[in-house]
Chain A
Amino acid sequence: MAELFIFFEQIYRILFLLIPVLVSVAMIVWLDRRVWAFVQKRRGPNVVGPFGLFQTLADALKYIFKEIIIPASSNKVIFILAPIVTMTLALIAWAVIPFSETFVLADINVGILYLFAVSSLGVYGIIMGGWASNSKYPFLGAIRSAAQMVSYEVSIGVIIINVLLCVGSLNLSDIVLAQKDLWFVIPLFPMFIIFFISALAETNRPPFDLPEAEAELVAGYQTEYSGMMYAMFWLGEYANILLMCAMGSILFLGGWLSPIDLFPFNVIPAPIWLILKILFLFILFALIKAIVPRYRYDQLMKLGWKIFLPFSLIYVVLTASFLMYFDLLPGN
């Protein structure tokens, strides 16, 4: 009986995390479009509900009632599996994100590795979708995206090593608590910038949205998808963007910690701080979408391998020697 109780409690906790994440994904799509419109002096979605807040829900409803078209020559199993994989991977990663000292679903030892592993699996949804469509544009989009995501993962991995050197633990709560006195964005500012740009590339956001470059590839790997399956790709993509923002705020912006430990700030509950930081990073993402033109493919590869990777490797050496010289290494 007791096991059954624990089981249902866990289910309740998972739902308590997942439903807010899904709702905020819907809201964030709206925010993205609003910010984009704001920069371009347009109104953006403002008709459905107050300020157009229910626009995404209306869109989702439309997708649900649309017919799902499966191309006759596609590999049907993998074709259907691809959006499911994308969406599942985007959601399971939220299990380890700590919203406060106590509010975390799974406080595992290797939390950051888990996040890194799940985000590196994200490429499969895209490759599977692109290949199973059995069509030229999706396939080209999938191949581009595979190369792009694998390249930028490498620099994200090296950036994570920089942070881990300062923390001495792979646990996400420990990473946040290590920033109690000084957020890592200050000593590791260049790494934060590189992480941010790599996160843009990893989530296929503009200016690195080459996998779905509409001028060349129709819609990249999503070309053959319709109805709910397209909506799942779309939800997964935005959940991944939110996740990257959460990762950035945990690694560099002090997670749930308030900026200064003084009266008006420290009464605000911890999860609110994390949400504010995620929103801040997301608005930066949205602004960049509006103001930066798309990269060319060879420029993208050059940036990843010839600039970011060597620079972050050198920074690892610098960080390690600095910590060693001033005897600041954690665990000593």
Chain B
Amino acid sequence: MIAHAIVFYIFSLIAIVSAIMVTVSKNTVNSVFFLILDFISISCLFIMIGAEFLGMIMLIVYVGAVAVLFLFVVMMLNVAQQKNEWFNSSGRSSHIPVGLLVSIIIFFELIIVIGGWKYKPDLLDSIAIEINTDLTNTQSLGSVIYTDYIHLFQLSGMVLLVAMIGAIVLTFRQRSGVKRQSYFKQISRDRKDGIELVDVENNKGVKIDV
């Protein structure tokens, strides 16, 4: 039990410190690396409370895919230049009210959630589905999501699909003059339309690429 507690505190310490470092560190790429460390320690915490499926999905989705895209975007920015613009420009004060608003809202939400912790035993009575402790949590999650809440699940899937299509439409640019390879066209070419034999007259030459 003591070993369990020690490991828990190690992981949560890493999680909190790296969460702070995400906001504090000046290099954006380092921030993303700390974010990844944060995700990993959170997923370790998930595994420690026995939610192994959630922990692994956290690793696969957030660390394996989302954070890679973050890193991808951040590395593309010219970091040094951006840093100077951000910290030296006089316009930076205009970001403070927005940031303050968001952080105040998050702070109150956290207070409500942590305050609600006190009523945790009562909350457990009000859940709609009985928790079956015999099943592994992959099985029980599957049965809850795909049988009891299938409509909500499909609905959220549709929302994500719409968001995805929206993102594609917003960023799609039709460029002209791009040479594309069509496998079908390439394979169906034969000698007849690939080669033309021309008798070249002396001192005249041929016109190519018509």
Q: Which residues of A contact B (CB under 8 A)?
A: 3, 75, 78, 108-110, 113-114, 116-117, 120-121, 123-124, 127-128, 131, 139, 143, 146-147, 150, 153, 157, 170, 298-299
Contacts and interface: CB of A to CB of B under 8 A. Distances in A.
A298 B52 CA distance: 37
B8 interface: no
Contacts of A109: 52-53, 136, 138
Nearest to B53: A110
Contacts of B42: none
A124 B36 CA distance: 10
A113 B64 CA distance: 12
Interface residues of B, number: 22
30 contacts: A78-B29, A78-B33, A109-B52, A110-B53, A110-B138, A113-B57, A113-B60, A114-B56, A116-B56, A116-B60, A117-B56, A117-B59, A117-B63, A120-B59, A120-B63, A120-B65, A121-B64, A123-B64, A124-B68, A127-B75, A131-B71, A131-B75, A139-B75, A146-B71, A153-B64, A153-B65, A157-B60, A170-B138, A298-B181, A299-B181
B75 A113 contact: no
Contacts of B3: 3
Report the 6 A-B pairs with minimum CB-CB distance, sorted nearest first: A120-B64, A113-B56, A117-B59, A117-B60, A110-B52, A109-B136
B72 interface: yes
Contacts of A153: 64-65
B68 A146 contact: yes
Interface string B84-110: 000000000000000000000000000
Interface string B57-87: 1011001110011011001000000000000
B85 to A, nearest CB: 21
Contacts of B75: 127, 131, 139, 143
Nearest to B65: A150
A127 B69 CA distance: 11
Contact of A127 (B56, B68, B136, B138): B68
Contacts of A143: 72, 75
**SS of A interface (majority):** helix
B192 to A, nearest CB: 27
A3 B4 CA distance: 13
A170 B137 CA distance: 11
Contacts of B138: 109-110, 170
Contacts of A108: 52
B60 to A, nearest CB: 5
A121 B59 contact: yes
A117 B64 contact: yes
B30 to A, nearest CB: 8
Contacts of B33: 78, 128
B141 to A, nearest CB: 11
B56 A121 contact: no
B2 to A, nearest CB: 10
Contacts of A147: 72
Contacts of A121: 59, 63-64
A146 B57 CA distance: 20
A243 B3 CA distance: 31
B101 to A, nearest CB: 34
A331 B59 CA distance: 27
Contacts of B30: 78
Residue among B36, B53, B64, B68 facing the most chain A CB atoms (10 A cut-off): B64
A166 B205 CA distance: 68
Contacts of A3: 3
A117 B56 CA distance: 7
Contact of A120 (B53, B60, B136, B181): B60
Nearest to A299: B181
Contacts of A117: 56, 59-60, 63-64
